[in-house]
C-alpha cells in the first residue's frame, strides 16, 4: 500500500464514482480501477461494491476511508512540520543578554521576531557577558548580545547597533549643569563601575579612563549596568554607562555626553561559527534587517 493508492481510494470513496474520481484526480479511469484493485489485493479484502450505477463502500472500505483520511492528514502534518523546521519557523532559541541590553533595543527586536515566528520558543537568559560567552561555547545558548567582539575563534559576531558611553551623575552634581564632559575631568570623582572581571566592555571602559590619564576611584562595583542608576541616585558618585541606560531611569539622574571621543558601547550579535540552526540564522537576518530599518528611520 502506497500513498497514491490511498489518495485514489479516498477519491473514489468520496465521489462514489470511478468516473468522477478520475476527473477529480485528472487521470483516466482504467489506471484508477487498476490501482484500487491492487490495493484490495494487497489488503486481501474488498473495499468497494461496484455496480453499473454507483460505488458503495464495504465495511472494510468504511474503515479504510477513516484510516486513509487520518494517514493523509498525518503525512501533511509531517510535511508541514518538517518544512517549517527547515525554514526556521519552528524550534527553540536561547538568547543571552545583560539587563541593560534587554531593557533597550533588544526588547523591541524580540517583539518583532515573535510576530514573524510565533511558534519558536524563545528563552532569554540574563547573564553577565563572561557567562554568556561560556554558555555559547557550552552550547546552552544560541546567541548572545554583548558590548564588544569576543576573542574566541569558535565564535563570530555581527554589529547589531551602535551606542556611546555617557556620564551618569546625580542631578545635584556640579557636572549635571554641563552640556558635555571630557573624560579627563572625571579623575577626581568617585566612580560606580562595572566589575572588570565580568566583561570585556568593563575592562575597555577602564582602559579608556587610563588613556585619559586616570584610574577610576572605585566607590561601588556591580556586574550589570542597570544596577548603576540606583547607586548614582543614592550619591555614591558618577558612572560611565551605555547611553541606553538613560531610557529607564528617574529624574534624579542626569546623563551627559562625553566629548571629544566618547568610548563606544556598541552591541554585537554573537553566535557560534559552526551554527547550523535555521532558527538562529533567521533571527540574525531579521535582527540585522529590523535594526537597519530602525536606523534609517532615526529611531
Cβ neighbours of residue 87 closer than 8 Å, sequence gap 6 or more = 278, 282
Contact 201, 194 (CB under 8 A): yes
Average pLDDT for 245-260: 86
Choose the most confident range, by mean pLDDT, from 72-81, 207-216, 285-294.
Answer: 207-216
Q: What is the pLDDT of residue 120?
A: 93
Mean pLDDT across the stretch 109-138?
92
Strand partners, 119: none
At residue 299 the predicted structure's pLDDT band, cuts being 50, 70 and 90, is low
Give me the pLDDT at residue 296, please: 60
Phi, psi of 61 (to 5 degrees): -65, -40
Confidence of residue 282 (pLDDT cuts 50, 70, 90): very high
Cα–Cα distance, 165 to 263 (Å, whole number): 5
The phi, psi pair for 28, rounded to 5°, reads -80, 160
Question: Exposed, middle or buried: residue 166 (CB in 10 Å: 0-12, 13-18, 19+)?
Answer: buried
| pLDDT tens string 51-104 | 777 899 999 999 999 999 999 999 988 887 787 777 778 899 999 998 888 877
Q: Which long-range contacts (CB under 8 A, 24 or more apart) does 220-224 make?
A: 220/192, 220/193, 221/192, 221/193, 221/194, 221/195, 222/192, 222/193, 222/194, 222/195, 223/128, 223/194, 223/195, 223/198, 224/98, 224/99, 224/100, 224/128, 224/194
Q: Quote the pLDDT of residue 251.
A: 82
d(C-alpha 34, C-alpha 15), whole Å: 17
Amino acid at each position: 500500500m502506497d500513498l497514491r493508492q490511498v489518495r485514489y481510494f479516498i477519491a473514489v470513496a468520496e465521489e462514489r464514482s470511478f468516473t468522477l474520481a478520475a476527473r477529480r484526480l485528472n487521470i483516466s479511469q482504467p489506471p484508477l480501477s487498476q490501482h484500487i484493485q491492487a490495493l484490495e489485493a494487497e489488503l486481501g479484502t474488498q473495499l468497494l461494491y461496484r455496480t453499473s450505477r454507483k460505488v458503495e463502500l464495504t465495511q472494510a472500505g468504511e474503515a479504510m476511508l477513516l484510516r486513509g483520511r487520518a494517514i493523509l492528514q498525518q503525512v501533511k502534518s509531517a510535511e508541514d512540520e518538517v518544512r517549517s523546521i527547515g525554514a526556521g519557523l519552528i524550534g527553540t532559541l536561547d538568547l543571552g543578554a545583560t539587563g541593560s541590553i534587554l531593557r533597550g533595543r533588544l526588547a523591541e527586536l524580540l517583539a518583532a521576531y515573535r510576530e514573524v515566528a510565533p511558534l519558536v520558543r524563545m528563552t532569554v537568559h540574563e547573564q553577565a557577558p563572561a557567562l554568556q560567552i561560556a554558555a555559547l561555547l557550552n552550547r546552552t545558548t544560541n546567541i548572545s548580545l554583548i558590548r564588544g567582539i569576543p576573542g574566541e575563534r569558535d565564535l563570530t559576531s555581527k554589529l547589531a547597533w551602535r551606542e556611546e558611553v555617557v556620564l551618569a551623575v546625580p542631578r545635584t552634581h556640579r557636572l549635571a549643569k554641563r552640556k558635555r564632559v571630557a573624560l579627563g575631568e572625571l579623575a577626581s570623582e568617585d566612580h560606580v563601575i562595572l566589575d572588570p572581571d565580568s566583561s570585556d566592555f568593563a575592562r575597555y571602559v577602564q582602559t579608556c579612563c587610563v588613556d585619559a590619564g586616570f584610574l577610576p576611584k572605585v566607590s561601588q562595583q556591580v556586574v550589570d549596568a542597570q544596577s548603576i542608576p540606583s547607586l548614582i541616585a543614592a550619591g555614591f558618585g558618577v558612572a560611565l554607562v551605555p547611553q541606553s541606560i538613560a531610557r529607564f531611569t528617574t529624574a534624579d539622574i542626569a546623563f551627559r555626553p562625553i566629548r571629544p571621543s566618547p568610548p563606544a558601547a556598541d552591541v554585537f550579535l554573537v553566535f557560534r561559527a559552526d551554527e547550523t540552526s535555521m532558527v538562529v540564522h533567521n533571527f540574525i537576518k531579521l535582527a540585522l534587517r529590523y535594526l537597519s530599518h530602525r536606523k534609517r528611520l532615526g529611531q
